[in-house]
Amino acid sequence: MASKVIHALYTDDDLLLQAVRQVKEARYSIGQIYTPFPVHGLDKAMGLAPTRLAITSFIYGIIGLLVAVAMMNFIMIEDWPMDIGGKPSFSFIQNMPAFVPIMFELTVFFAAHLMVFTFFMRSKLWPFKKAENPDVRTTDDHFLMEVMVGNHNTEELTDFLFNTGASEIKLIDNK
């Protein structure tokens, strides 16, 4: 009885978005939603907390910038100074413009790659992981909403979901 859920399938993202709003309004609780592509505005409609991924990305970018500065300072100034184009490498600040492309690239590299890894870790994705989506059609052209039954009447909930435009409704009872 504890984890009875209903899987409602939709065939259109606008319909899904509308249904999410209706379900929220009727105070039913939504578990997961599986979609074949990111649906714009779905996180807001579901009332999910805003992502903190952007903040981590900013921090990774700063780390990348610092790594680039340290790296170029070691390679070009301290370890093996060279005179390139009449610009002897005696001080970092005087040679800095030449290092800007590297600083930029490493900032982007760190921000992008570490952000992707963070995203994989947070969403518990790794290679050879078994797919969690309950219906294979959610990778093609169907949208699946998981609604917790809880203390509600199953019959009533099913009718309600049918009226929101669900094309298919399944009751899943995990004993």
Partner 1 sequence: MYTLSSKLKLFSIILMVVGLLGLIYGFIAVPANIEEVKELIAHDDHGEVVEMPLPGQTEDELEDDAQGFDFVPSEHEVNTERTGEEVHKMAEDAELVHLEHVFHQLQNKPWAAVYVAAFFFFMIALGVLAFYAVQFAAQAGWSPVLFRVMEGITAYLLPGGIIMFVLLALSGFHFNHLFVWMDPEVVAHDEIIQNKQSYLNVPFFLIRAAIYIAGWALFRYYLTRNSRRQDNATDINWYKKNFKLSAGFLVFFIVTESMMSWDWIMSLDPHWFSTLFGWYVFSSMFVSGITVIALVTIYLKSRNYLPFVNDSHIHDLAKFMFGISIFWTYLWFSQFMLIWYSNIPEEVTYFVSRIEDYGLVFFGMVALNFIFPLLLLMNSDFKRVNWFVVMTGIIILLGHYLDVYVMVMPATVGESWFIGIPELSALAFFGGLFIFIVFNSLTKAPLHAKGNPFMKESEHYHY
**Positions that interact with partner 1 (CB under 8 A):** 54, 58, 85-87, 90, 97-98, 100-101
Count CB-CB contacts under 10 A for residue 171.
Answer: 12
Q: By C-beta, is 58 or 74 nearer to partner 1?
A: 58
Q: By C-beta, is 54 or 172 nearer to partner 1?
A: 54
In the complex, what is the shortest distance from the CB of residue 75 to partner 1, in angstroms, rounded to a whole number? 17
In the complex, what is the shortest distance from the CB of residue 41 to partner 1, in angstroms, rounded to a whole number? 9
Cα dist from 4 to 85, 132, 143, 165, whole Å: 73, 17, 20, 21
Q: By C-beta, is 50 or 127 nearer to partner 1?
A: 50
In the complex, what is the shortest distance from the CB of residue 89 to partner 1, in angstroms, rounded to a whole number? 13
In the complex, what is the shortest distance from the CB of residue 156 to partner 1, in angstroms, rounded to a whole number? 33
